[in-house]
A and B are shown apart, each in its own frame.
Chain A
């Protein structure tokens, strides 16, 4: 082939290569890149009852589409039979919503990140008020049903999702935050267990912070400040040392415990703990009176393939707890309650089909059955029959956050 032919062919190949290089080089142009974070799975539905208000958070909307699943807050004032939609406005909550009502009536709600919103914000509501006030949180809330707690004076504690799950605390108004404790510090606590994450926080009626955690081993990860007297303050100061007050489940084959729920019950705190080990899992109720000895219930077995779908705390004027278990089949649903220390698990009967959340108000159990934007509320007392108490239409804002 002649030299000229080679030149021609070479020129053509240079053009082709230049085109390909340009294609590759196009990756250097400025590009729109929206920062995102790995979204957490929203916490399961949770009911919380205090002497002044009962709250429940549950998902509604198009549940198969995360962008159009919104977490709605309903509350019921003490003495009122009516549940009211009270979801704080101003932020899309299709990433999840955590609520921490206090015995004093202050309610704090926290929004989990969603889509391109990577940080959390809070909303607070004064006792008896209907308007919410915005508040900031210097971090991202952990997706735990009791990841947010409000004390009687409005002091707030929040579990963050960042590495080490630190717990922050703020005085009334939640304006200035400080570090309360972290998973590593709890592991170093007196009698501590190996804490893998902080899973719940509560503030007692006396203003004492109590922290729940996931621990490896058979010890229940329930922690209080070593010096309760100095720790019980409206500002929730960071105590120097912590002590594990959760009971040990002994040689029961349990290899890990997780505090699922934790709430002030008057004397101290009441909570639900999930245990696992030897291929089995169960739920135990725990009550820890301030300064006293914690007691636990008999284990509630969670059958293989079943999960804890929803929980409720604060029943029976404080110590009452409820667990909603769901199995693989649509008909596999089991609601079990316990009234308080020393009480046995009992069932008020199969809840209405489609129940996705429960709340315990006094000796009454309320079941919430969502269907898109409609909510049906049922109630039962003791082992009595379920009766429908309310039908609500919720103005779900489909498409507003997608």
Chain B
């Protein structure tokens, strides 16, 4: 038997090539969409300019009528837009398709309860069955979410971006992050709990909130209060005895934090950084008690400050923040920022190394959410100022009459700039000084489109299209009946196209009847060689053929699966029947397991290039793992290496799918 094929590992060249191919294809679609949108917008501007010239009017870009965005919301939107964009670019690493499940997701879930592992496994199954598609999809989804947050500052599109980031964040947190390890031992904020993605979700929720929710200081209070509770809670957990954090080094065994940091330092990264992290690991090993004390005190005190600030500040935006809160809050945020950055560098090791880093871990997102809450608290949007009032991007401007009228109510789109884009691509008397005369002729509808807003809408549509470019392939992969055939190709190589007469054979079926290849003319024959007393590969190959039969559906009626015994000793009709029964194949009507005399079998093995060799000392008979696809005219059309490789679900499913596609192709010739 040929040696077990190596499973596709991180960076497997064929999988990576397929990954890059899908990225390129999807990238081309994205470019096409963006190009079309850009051309359309450019054409609009050109047409508006020519019409303005024809009318003798001055052509001016539209006035930006976007209402001012609350400072906190703006900060969160831009910060997490950049984070999502960065995370999407991290997904471009070559190790992602085959390395993410085995090196990131499953290790993260390994100490979680079984129900969590089961949930994670369902996501892992999708990824391992379609590594290239899943990895490429994730790139576009995250890049798209980032761009959507950045280019859509207000309105439904912006809030939709928040919703999409929440939805994707929840998918990642559950299926890909084992809920941040909150159900596993060793939980610590210092190392990423409750999962960086939780802060992305929080930010998404905040961005998705209606404009009216940003009036006053309520969001700021809740955000800072939540951050305070989180810090205090994790501070208490950090202080809890018996979890190994108070000990830097336990005899010859490192404490919990030291062990974590030491492991991080060993990942592939710039030497200067690994040295820095290793040094901190050594420092913690010697001063673990002190380090943990600082961490506990910092978390509890900072959390208390945030909580007090939230509690002692009123919700009304026109009521100033108490001076004591301001005096506490600003220094606390500075300290928090310093400690978060220190943890991010020294403990989380920036989170992006090793070839499968998915994000910069949790300290930056935690800091961003907290700072966003601070801005929401200190610079609240005035009541009603979120809607309809012109002005710059600064928050808390004087509310216009429309905004006052809507104070406290859900904002209505009118006079919302989207999607109707009510504005002025051409200067009008109501917006600009009266030196621009009213054109005498009737205006076309496109002359009234505000080109700046049109640009913004086009960019938003482009970002949304990027998200869809990512979602569609992943959804399609999820409903595929079999794993990506590329996995089987990575294990066994691509099928070989041939065209030559299939050597004849005449052997015996378990019922004692004689079956020859000529008897099967008119059917597509899938021919393989199996040892009926094999302990490893052959049962797997038999099951792969059974699944192939299922995948073929109605086409299977014109296919015959034929196995020839590949054991010179154990080849009796009874033994063959026992194998069929063992594999549940005795009831598959198009399955034949043929045997014969040693001479007859040897002839078939020779003609089909199959090596069969007995082994001494209790070894299994060694034989080639190969599958031939023979067309209805009796010509060999495909040869596939059928070594099961690592024999996991994805390689088995992939081979079945690959074989089914080859059979279908041969049938359609």
Binding site for B on A (CB under 8 A): 1-2, 4-5, 8-9, 12-13, 15-16, 18-20, 22-27, 29-35, 60, 70-72, 85, 87, 89-95, 97, 111, 114-119, 121, 132, 134, 136, 394-397, 399-402
Contacts and interface: CB of A to CB of B under 8 A. Distances in A.
A7 to B, nearest CB: 10
B501 interface: no
Interface string B2-39: 01100000000000000000000000000000000000
Contact of A87 (B123, B156, B616): B616
Contacts of B543: 32-34
Interface stretch (B225-233, B356-364, B578-586): B578-586
26 contacts: A2-B410, A2-B412, A4-B156, A5-B156, A5-B210, A19-B471, A19-B475, A23-B126, A23-B478, A26-B122, A32-B649, A33-B543, A70-B617, A91-B569, A114-B535, A116-B536, A116-B538, A117-B533, A117-B539, A118-B582, A134-B569, A136-B574, A394-B617, A395-B617, A396-B617, A400-B1
B437 to A, nearest CB: 37
Interface string B614-627: 11111111100000
Nearest to B614: A89
B652 interface: yes
Contacts of A70: 617-619
Nearest to A70: B618
Contacts, number: 178
Contact of A13 (B167, B568, B571, B656): B167
A91 B163 contact: no
Interface in B555-591: 567-572, 574-575, 578, 582-584
B316 interface: no
Interface in B479-523: 479-482
A32 B544 contact: yes
Interface in B158-199: 159-160, 163-164, 167, 170-171, 175
A114 B533 CA distance: 10
B439 interface: no
B547 interface: yes
Given A90-B569, A92-B620, A401-B619, A19 B474 contact: yes
**Nearest 5 pairs between A and B by C-beta?**
A397-B619, A90-B569, A22-B478, A70-B618, A32-B652
Contact of B622 (A119, A121, A394, A400): A400
B41 to A, nearest CB: 23
B539 A136 contact: no
- Residue with the highest number of chain A CB atoms closer than 10 Å, among B3, B550, B619: B619
B570 A397 contact: no
B535 A95 contact: yes
Nearest to B174: A20
A281 B409 CA distance: 84
Contacts of B571: 134
A124 to B, nearest CB: 12
B657 to A, nearest CB: 10
A60 B567 CA distance: 24
A31 B122 contact: no
A119 B578 contact: yes
B60 interface: no
A84 to B, nearest CB: 12
Interface in B296-315: none
B413 interface: yes
A93 B618 contact: yes
Contacts of B621: 89-91
A114 B538 CA distance: 13
B540 interface: yes
B247 interface: no
Contacts of B208: 9
Nearest to B474: A19
